[in-house]
């Protein structure tokens, strides 16, 4: 005769074992599911087809940094030779006025926070131009631990945290764990200090892991070839950074390789876009309007500098 009680106990134990195995591979594995690690991302820009292009005057052939005024009326730009801030009409790209704030230098990024304009130099020096439209110009200069080795090229403003984001084209830092990585540092506007620990680190391994999931992106095979080198040849070089006003994600341009990378505030890569060199000969500055409209500035590379405008599609 069959022992029904024994069979019932065996069946329950087997079911529990199966459930345990499933849970182990779903949750306890060192290799989480790709879709959980790199979720699908809805990239809402067509960067091959600008909705509008502004040709820059001669003094902005070397345009390097881009931002917008809080009222959304002007684009703000700097170039990498003169200590001058340019106010551009957002509708036609014409220079409305310019403001000399410091002597000549390699200025790479610009952002507007309230009534102040911040400009970053490749050496890591940050300038605050206070009350630029109200009589006598006042400029504060902040020199901290970043230097020319870091080659700071991008400056963005994260309103949610009250910080400026400084993206480094050069070395991330001297420590061994920072080698062969690219860093974004945060400047705290309350303390007026740069946090000593990078806010964000991007490595070749991060990029390869993302591309290894076969994301639905343009020119995937070309990107995989481009990033197939050893880690000492990591060629991603941030030239601009901006925070998307609707999602809070970081959009980082790289002039080297003609790339745009989207990263969430936690450091997870969400998207990589290979830019067409015919449209983006040297992408440097990037900025957003409040509705998600994106602006990308390109240096002239022997021709005219230009700013492309891209509508945030689907809104």
Give the pLDDT mean for 204-220: 95
Minimal CA–CA distance to 114: which of 140, 133, 91, 89? 133
Residue 94, pLDDT score: 97
Q: Are 18 and 159 members of one domain?
A: no
Residue 169, pLDDT score: 96
Q: Are 175 and 305 members of one domain?
A: yes
Q: Is the pLDDT of residue 114 over 70?
A: yes
Q: Are 241 and 297 members of one domain?
A: yes
Q: Are 11 and 130 members of one domain?
A: no
Residue 233, pLDDT score: 77
Residue 91, pLDDT score: 94
Q: Is the pLDDT of residue 214 over 70?
A: yes
Q: Is the pLDDT of residue 298 over 80?
A: yes
- Rounded Cα distance between 127 and 116, Å, is 10
Looking at per-residue pLDDT, the higher value among 40 and 151 belongs to: 151
- Rounded Cα distance between 296 and 95, Å, is 17
Q: Are 159 and 11 members of one domain?
A: no
Q: Look at residue 77 and tell me if it is in a domain.
A: yes
Residue 37, pLDDT score: 57
CATH of the domain at 221: 2.120.10.30
Question: How distant, in Å, are the alpha carbons of 37, 44, 145, 187, 206 from that of 268?
Answer: 8, 18, 26, 21, 8
Q: What is the pLDDT of residues 15-35, one digit of tens each?
A: 443 333 333 333 333 333 333
Q: Are 151 and 263 members of one domain?
A: yes
Q: Look at residue 315 and tell me if it is in a domain.
A: no
Q: Look at residue 112 and tell me if it is in a domain.
A: yes
Q: Are 49 and 3 members of one domain?
A: no
Q: What's the domain count of the chain? A: 2
pTM for the full predicted model: 0.87
Which residue shows structure tokens 């911040």?
118
Owning domain of residue 244: 36-310
Looking at per-residue pLDDT, the higher value among 230 and 291 belongs to: 291
Residue 210, pLDDT score: 97
Q: Look at residue 84 and tell me if it is in a domain.
A: yes
Question: Residue 39: which pLDDT band, with cuts at 50, 70 and 90?
Answer: low
Q: Are 9 and 141 members of one domain?
A: no
Q: Are 20 and 152 members of one domain?
A: no
Q: Are 106 and 200 members of one domain?
A: yes
Q: Are 173 and 132 members of one domain?
A: yes
* Residue 67: DSSP 8-state: E
Q: Are 98 and 21 members of one domain?
A: no
Give the residues across from 156 on adjacent strands: 165
Looking at the chain, the whole-number percentage of residues with pLDDT higher than 70 is: 87
Give the chain's mean pLDDT: 88
Distance from chain centroid for Cα 165: 9
Q: What is the pLDDT of residues 57-105, one digit of tens each?
A: 999 999 999 999 999 999 999 999 999 999 999 999 999 999 999 999 9
Question: How distant, in Å, are the alpha carbons of 77, 92, 93, 97, 98 from that of 89?
Answer: 11, 6, 5, 9, 12
- Are the CB atoms for 76 and 84 separated by under 8 Å? no
Q: What is the pLDDT of residues 140-197, one digit of tens each?
A: 999 999 999 999 999 999 999 999 999 999 999 989 889 889 999 999 999 999 999 9
């Amino acid at each position: 005769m069959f022992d029904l009680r024994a069979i019932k106990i065996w069946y329950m134990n087997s079911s529990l074992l199966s459930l345990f195995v499933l849970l182990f591979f779903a949750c306890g594995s060192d290799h989480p599911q790709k879709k959980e690690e790199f979720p699908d991302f809805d990239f809402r820009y067509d960067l091959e087809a600008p909705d509008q292009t502004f040709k820059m005057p001669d003094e902005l052939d070397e345009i390097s940094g881009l931002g917008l005024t809080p009222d959304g009326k002007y684009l703000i730009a700097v170039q990498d030779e003169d200590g001058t801030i340019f106010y551009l009409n957002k509708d036609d790209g014409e220079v409305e006025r310019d403001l000399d704030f410091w002597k000549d230098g390699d200025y790479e990024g610009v952002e507007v926070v309230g009534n102040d304009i911040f400009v970053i130099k490749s050496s890591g020096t940050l300038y605050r131009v206070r009350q630029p439209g109200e009589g006598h110009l006042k400029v504060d200069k902040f020199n901290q631990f970043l230097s020319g080795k870091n080659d700071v090229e991008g400056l963005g403003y994260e309103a949610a945290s009250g910080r400026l984001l400084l993206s480094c084209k050069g070395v991330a830092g001297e420590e061994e764990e920072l080698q062969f990585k690219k860093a974004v540092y945060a400047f705290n506007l309350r303390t007026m200090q740069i946090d000593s620990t990078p806010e964000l680190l991007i490595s070749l391994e991060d990029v390869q892991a993302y591309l290894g999931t076969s994301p639905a992106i343009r020119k995937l095979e070309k990107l995989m070839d481009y990033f197939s080198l050893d880690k000492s040849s990591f060629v991603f070089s941030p030239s601009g950074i901006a925070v998307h006003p609707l999602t809070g994600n970081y959009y980082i341009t790289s002039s080297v390789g003609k790339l745009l990378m989207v990263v969430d505030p936690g450091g997870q890569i969400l998207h990589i876009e290979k830019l067409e060199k015919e449209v983006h000969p040297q992408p440097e500055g990037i900025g957003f309007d409040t509705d998600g409209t994106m602006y990308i500035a390109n240096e002239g590379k022997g021709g005219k500098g230009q700013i492309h405008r891209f509508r945030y599609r689907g809104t």
